[in-house]
A and B are shown apart, each in its own frame.
Chain A
Amino acid sequence: MTPEMQPIFDRVEAILRTHTKVDTVITPDVQMGADLSLDSVDMFDLVMEIEEAYDISFPIEEASSISTVGALVEAIGRRTNA
């Protein structure tokens, strides 16, 4: 993860904390399904909140291909030209 991504990671981490019940250290490699126990309904809510926060929209295919926190951060970076 590049340094420019750090602010995005920090904000994503804060949002993730409100969506997962799993109390684990969140790193870019953490799997949102396996490690944070987010199911498809949770993921939908999470993506919607992130889209709101950054005023962006992810096509469904892109959103459903994101499995790690790092990939989510990178995807936001691409959409916001961070």
Chain B
Amino acid sequence: MLDTNTGKTAMFAKFDKLSERIEGLYGNGRRPFGMLFERILSPTRGVIGGKEVLLAGTNNYLGLTFSEECTTAAKDAIDRHGTATTGSRLANGTFAEHVELEEALKAFFGAASAAVFTTGYQANLASLSALGGKGDHLLIDADSHACIYDGCRLSDAETYRFRHNSPEDLAKRLSRLPETGARLVVIEGLYSMLGDVAPVDEFVEVAHAHNAMLYVDEAHSVGCYGPTGRGVAEAQGVLDRVDFISGTFSKSFASIGGFCISRHAEFDRMRLASRPYLFTASGTPSAIAAARAALDVIAGPARLERRLWARIEQLYAGLSEAGFQPVSPPGPIMAVERPDDKLAMREWNALMDAGIYVNLMIPPATPQGKSLLRISMSAAHTEADVDRILGAFRDLRALQAT
């Protein structure tokens, strides 16, 4: 018979250290992780603790979550198809809208195949776990998102890390591999924590020179980079040479879900082998419809990213001037490194007192053990919004002195 006390201790003791650390960090202040948003009023305003807050950490880069296009499409989809698909893509979960979205993504990227997944996390989990077979080699950037690591773990391939954003280190590692097995290099276009951009053009040269394919996660960069918003690979002129591009619908696409496109038609065969694709329900009709509407906006003439970049430049210049130099060049994600997690926590609280929500990021979720205040910009932010954010940051200097 289970001894309830001993059994409980054995089960939950593994979380003790983490809980203690986080509780110690919180002290009597707010709890930044799992923060409760009582209401969202617009792409840039929400209600937290009964107070209206300016949102500057929601990855809502194009600000489309309340757009007429996306909200109408989502509501119509519920009216036409109900709230859920209640099944996986292989069974009863493939609706016309899923296929149409895949076709639209193929057209947008000029790809030979495209698959849509239920979340962005699953897009990488599903694609990488299926692509990495026994005897194959996956080479991933050391700063990769958890879903890339997890996709590799779920695969049967051997996974190697290379130094962050270093095509030279990748080349060394590729040259050490045995001749047998397929090779896949995995990078991100724009890294979500530090906001730095990958030299995709250099990586494609190195990967192809060593007989490896290149997979680029553009979760944070589609809609923001490139002359037509197709991402960092487009911005660097190598969109047609990248073998796979994955992404999410939960940022610029104002929905939830993910995708992976490939210039190789054979990628489609993954559908029969990928467990995270097969054994989960497909995206809800409303989520798929909102993503499709957002894609039409991104592919259309609106060019919302121009507004986004104007705000980015304004914030970057202001932060640098105020002594909060972001760790990477101007981009939709601007992270300011803090000396330690305790000061970062105090400053995060002070920003909340001033009615500004940004992301507090601390190890182990961050690369290189950094503590960060992470800001994400939106095309929906106004010049006055950015002035307010900057004012709140300037006021933090008084806090540093105490």
Verify B173–A57 contact, CB threshold 8 A.
Answer: yes
Q: Give B residues with C-beta under 8 Å from A.
A: 142, 149, 152-153, 158-161, 163, 172-173, 176-177, 363-364, 368-369
Verify B159–A61 contact, CB threshold 8 A.
Answer: yes
- A–B Cβ pairs within 8 angstroms, 27 of them: A39-B369, A40-B364, A41-B363, A41-B368, A41-B369, A44-B142, A44-B161, A48-B163, A55-B172, A55-B176, A56-B176, A57-B160, A57-B173, A57-B176, A57-B177, A58-B160, A59-B158, A59-B159, A59-B160, A60-B149, A60-B152, A60-B159, A60-B160, A60-B161, A61-B153, A61-B158, A61-B159
Query: Besides A56-B176, A60-B160, A61-B159, 15 other CB < 8 A contacts?
Result: A39-B369, A40-B364, A44-B142, A44-B161, A48-B163, A55-B176, A57-B160, A57-B173, A58-B160, A59-B158, A59-B159, A59-B160, A60-B152, A60-B159, A61-B153
Q: How far is the CA of A39 from the CA of B149 in the complex (A)?
A: 18
How many A-B pairs have beta carbons closer than 8 Å: the answer is 27
Question: Quick one: CB contact mask for A49-82 with B, threshold 8 Å, 1 for yes?
Answer: 0000001111111000000000000000000000
CB distance from A59 to the nearest CB of B (A): 4
Q: How far is the CA of A57 from the CA of B153 in the complex (A)?
A: 17
The closest CB in chain B to the CB of A45 belongs to B368
Chain B residues closer than 8 Å to A56, beta-carbon distance: 176
CB distance from B334 to the nearest CB of A (A): 23
Q: How far is the CA of A59 from the CA of B160 in the complex (A)?
A: 5
CB distance from A44 to the nearest CB of B (A): 7
Chain A residues closer than 8 Å to B159, beta-carbon distance: 59-61
Q: How far is the CA of A40 from the CA of B368 in the complex (A)?
A: 9
Q: How far is the CA of A59 from the CA of B135 in the complex (A)?
A: 12
CB distance from B349 to the nearest CB of A (A): 26
The closest CB in chain B to the CB of A41 belongs to B369
The closest CB in chain B to the CB of A51 belongs to B173
Chain B residues closer than 8 Å to A40, beta-carbon distance: 364
Chain A residues closer than 8 Å to B161, beta-carbon distance: 44, 60
Within 8 A of B (CB), among A25-46: 39-41, 44
5 closest Cβ contacts across the A-B interface? A41-B369, A59-B158, A60-B159, A57-B160, A57-B176
CB distance from B362 to the nearest CB of A (A): 12
Q: How far is the CA of A57 from the CA of B239 in the complex (A)?
A: 30
Q: How far is the CA of A61 from the CA of B152 in the complex (A)?
A: 10
- With most chain B CB atoms within 10 A of its CB, the pick from A40, A48, A59 is A59
The closest CB in chain B to the CB of A39 belongs to B369
Chain B residues closer than 8 Å to A58, beta-carbon distance: 160
Q: How far is the CA of A61 from the CA of B154 in the complex (A)?
A: 12
Chain B residues closer than 8 Å to A61, beta-carbon distance: 153, 158-159
The closest CB in chain A to the CB of B177 belongs to A57
Q: How far is the CA of A55 from the CA of B368 in the complex (A)?
A: 23
Q: How far is the CA of A57 from the CA of B160 in the complex (A)?
A: 7
Q: How far is the CA of A48 from the CA of B142 in the complex (A)?
A: 10
Q: How far is the CA of A58 from the CA of B163 in the complex (A)?
A: 13
CB distance from B173 to the nearest CB of A (A): 5
Q: How far is the CA of A44 from the CA of B161 in the complex (A)?
A: 9
